[in-house]
Amino acid sequence: MDKLKSNRFLAAMGALFVVAILAFAILVYPAWNAAGTKTKAIKDNAVKINMVLKDLPGDPNVKDWQEHAGSLRARYGKTLQQLLADDKALGQWFDELDDNSTIAVFMNKYDDEKKKLQDDLVEKGVQLGSPKIEDNKFVETRLPGFNWIQGSDITRAKSMEDDRLAKEILQKRFNICRAVVNAVSANYVKDALRPRRLLDVTFLERFPYAPATPPGVGDVKVLFSINIEPKRYAGHSGMGGHFSEQALPSNGDDPPPPAEGSTAPDKPKVYLGKTLTFGFAVVMEYSQVPDLIRNLIQPSVEPVLNLSIVGLNIFVPEPNPAEKTEIVNVQKGEDTEPIKKKFDQMTADCPPPQVHVYVTCQVHDLDPAAVPAYLKP
């Protein structure tokens, strides 16, 4: 104490030091502590933001997406080019004919070719249409068969453009019928006792140039021994919906929407084409159905079409009886071996019944004018 009294400078410095500590504790430390808390909160938020930023797209992501988009476009173009190549078979004109051939010349060739197609099918052992009964005998009619459009049916074509469109529809339908004949007759071995039979080929879209009221409607002119049910081709028998013609998807190059406030009219979407929906019915062995389907969607001969199966119905119209009973009295000591052979032969002579196969198909009919610009040569 005496030293402090004798040295006032040291005392003053000590007092100032104590005041500084109190000032720091009262004024600085709380602010320092609050700043530290806020700094920690900022760092924590920065960590969270950085974690979120990892999931946000950046330049690497945009580059990857651009490369992926280019890859998808290339795959789309390759697939579409293949579809366009197959589509040529659908619209392939008869030999010596082209888009400029007159309707009269076309119909003459059409009549000749459809007869050749029917004869070709029958020569391969496949019967056509449903037979009718005359004098207690089955007589082949080749009806309904292919349901061909006759020249006399084209009564609503009033211009050259109508004639051209009518020819185009008939040509494409004929090419489809050719593909059906190839599929039905492929790998088929003639069977005189149980022949395969193509009952009919039906297109779901009504021919637009036929009379408004087809002749014979409501008038049954032919009584078929096999009942054809057109509704089976439209999916009304548990096949999951109604099949009809529809537009194929747009090509992905639709024009951009008009600017806000613009009065520009909306441009219609450009679709790649449409589908042609048809069905056909076959009487055949059930074990041969897989071959029919394979030859239809993966044909080994021309024409190869952009075809898909959208409906399949198989049923047995006249199943075999569960069993047949025949009583045979065997005498004592009689040899039973001939009787056993007889029953074995009866079993061999009673194979599974033929089935009716109703197939609904769609063929892509592409429009070359709708091909995206970047795919055109």
Show me where the domains of the chain are located: 2-52, 60-253+269-319+340-375
Strand partners for 360: 279, 311
Q: What is the pLDDT of residue 255?
A: 57
Question: Rounded to an integer, what distance in angstroms lies between the CA atom of residue 292 and that of residue 183?
Answer: 6
Question: Rounded to an integer, what distance in angstroms lies between the CA atom of residue 150 and that of residue 203?
Answer: 15
Query: Can you list the positions of beta strands (E) in 120-194?
Result: 127-128, 132-134, 137-139
Q: Are 313 and 286 in contact (CB under 8 A)?
A: no
Q: What is the pLDDT of residue 51?
A: 78
Number of H helices, E strands in the chain: 8, 7
Q: What is the pLDDT of residue 101?
A: 92
Q: Are 288 and 355 in contact (CB under 8 A)?
A: no
Q: Which residues are CB-contacts of 253 (< 8 A; sequence separation ≥ 6)?
A: 270, 372, 373
What is the chain's pLDDT, residue by residue, as a tens digit (377 residues)?
555 556 666 667 777 777 777 766 677 667 777 777 888 888 888 888 877 777 777 777 788 888 898 888 888 888 888 888 888 899 999 999 998 999 999 999 999 999 999 999 999 999 999 988 888 888 888 889 999 999 888 888 889 999 999 999 999 999 999 999 999 999 898 887 889 999 999 998 889 998 876 555 544 445 566 667 667 776 544 444 567 788 887 776 555 566 666 666 666 677 888 999 999 999 999 999 999 999 999 999 999 999 999 999 998 887 777 676 777 777 777 777 776 777 777 666 677 889 999 999 999 998 878 877 766 65
Q: What is the pLDDT of residue 377?
A: 56
Establish how many alpha carbons lie within 13 A of residue 327's alpha carbon, considering only the half-sphere containing its beta carbon.
1
